[in-house]
Amino acid sequence: MNACISFFKVLIFCFIIFFFNSYTIAAADSVQNSTNAQAIVIDPLSVRSLYVIENTTNIRIATATGFVINKNNKSYLITNWHVVTGRHPSSNEIIDEKGRTPNSITILHNGKQLGTWVAKNEDLYDRKGTKRWLEHPRGRAIDVVALPLENIGDDITIYPFNLSLADADIVPEIAMPVSIIGFPLGFTGTGFLPIWKTGHIASEPNLDYQGEPLFLIDATTRGGMSGSPVILRMNGGYKTKKGNTIMSSGGYRTLFLGIYSGRLPRDSEIGKVWRPKLINEIIK
């Protein structure tokens, strides 16, 4: 799968390896200690959003986003149904203009040293041609899946997404700003760190949109962001579930709002965010 990584990103790898000889990144739950090293702090969620490549027989089709959760002593990649199938969930039509659908994906995992990445391939079907991903009981009507990870070695580090962030005592309200953490048009931040795009809650977040377990955001999202985690981050005033108003002058609190899965039709800037509870309904 190294062929999937462009020469440009190989140059980035070389730069990062040189850079990290002098600096240490402190992020997530891991801090690398080094003598005479200056610590560079990055956001914990930046290492949890992963670059995903859709392949068909080692040919790259498209890019997407995903994140890993641990449940029942297993690791699963959470992404969209349309990412693993290459089909529109509403019509079941093939998305790719050349009629290709993926039979595997490549995930750019964090390496053992933070600031390095390792490409791992995951088959989407077993030897009998049976799909490996887990769907919601409603099938493609819920555009979220969980893919059990098989290709996990000692050369990568898994930073699982903390699903308890969905239970943070913050009441989301319409027009609040949100962050979509992914890879628009396949672009990345430094190395394979994600890009954070900002939007706003566009439909009542505590009500299901047209009876579906999702709500809408107003954001200039692009292809490649499918499967991105969507969060609400508050460092000012916010309401709690008991109706209290909290005023904070330092630090921040994070609420996991769900999984981004694309925009409404007709090239709108209105995106769909599926609710976190669906993950537990998929992985029973």
What is the number of other CB atoms lying within 10 angstroms of the CB of residue 97? Answer: 6
Mean pLDDT, residues 150-167 taken together? 95
- The residue among 108 and 24 whose pLDDT is bigger is 108
Average pLDDT value over all residues in the chain: 87
pLDDT > 70? residue 2: no
pLDDT score of 110: 97
Give every CB contact of residue 224 below 8 A, 6+ residues apart in sequence. 62, 63, 64, 65, 182, 183, 184, 185, 186, 187
Specify the pLDDT at position 249.
61
pLDDT at 141: 97
Q: What is the pLDDT of residue 31?
A: 34
Give the model's pLDDT for residue 14. 40
> 39: pLDDT confidence band, cut at 50, 70 and 90?
confident
Would the pLDDT of 135 be above 90? yes
Q: Which whole number is the average pLDDT over 40-50?
A: 93
Largest CA distance in the chain: 57
For 91-115, how does the pLDDT look when each residue is reduced to its tens digit (9 = 90+)? 999 999 999 999 999 999 999 999 9
Residue 221 has pLDDT above 70, yes or no: yes
Q: Which two tokens stand for residue 93?
A: 């039509």
- Residues 6 or more apart in contact with residue 133 via CB below 8 angstroms: 84, 124, 145, 146, 147, 148
SS3 content of the chain, % helix, strand, coil (to 5): 15, 40, 45
| pLDDT in the model for residue 267 | 78
Question: What is the pLDDT at residue 142?
Answer: 98
pLDDT tier at 23, thresholds 50, 70, 90 = very low
For 77-119, give the DSSP string: EEE-HHHHH-B-TTT--B-STT----SEEEEEEEESSBTBEEE
| pLDDT per position as a tens digit, 177-217 | 999 999 999 999 999 999 999 999 999 999 999 999 999 99
Residue 58's pLDDT is 83
- Specify the pLDDT at position 30: 38
- Whether 209 and 270 have beta carbons less than 8 Å apart is answered as no
Higher pLDDT, 82 or 19: 82
112-126, 140-154, 235-249: least confidently modelled range = 235-249
Nearest to 230 by CA among 169, 281, 165: 165
Instruction: Output 240 or 147, whichever has higher pLDDT.
Output: 147
Compute the CA torsion angle 264, 268, 269, 272 (nearest 10 deg).
0
Residue 12 has pLDDT above 50, yes or no: no
DSSP secondary structure letter of residue 35: T
Q: Is 126 helix (H, G, I), strand (E, B) or coil?
A: coil
Res. 20: pLDDT tops 70: no
Residue 89 scores a pLDDT above 60: yes
Distance CA 192, CA 110 (A): 9
**pLDDT score, position 3:** 42
| Average of per-residue pLDDT across 69-73 | 94
Q: Over the stretch 233-278, which tens digit does the pLDDT of each residue have?
A: 987 777 788 777 777 666 788 999 999 999 998 778 999 999 999 9
The residue with tokens 């998305």 is 95
pTM beyond 0.95: no
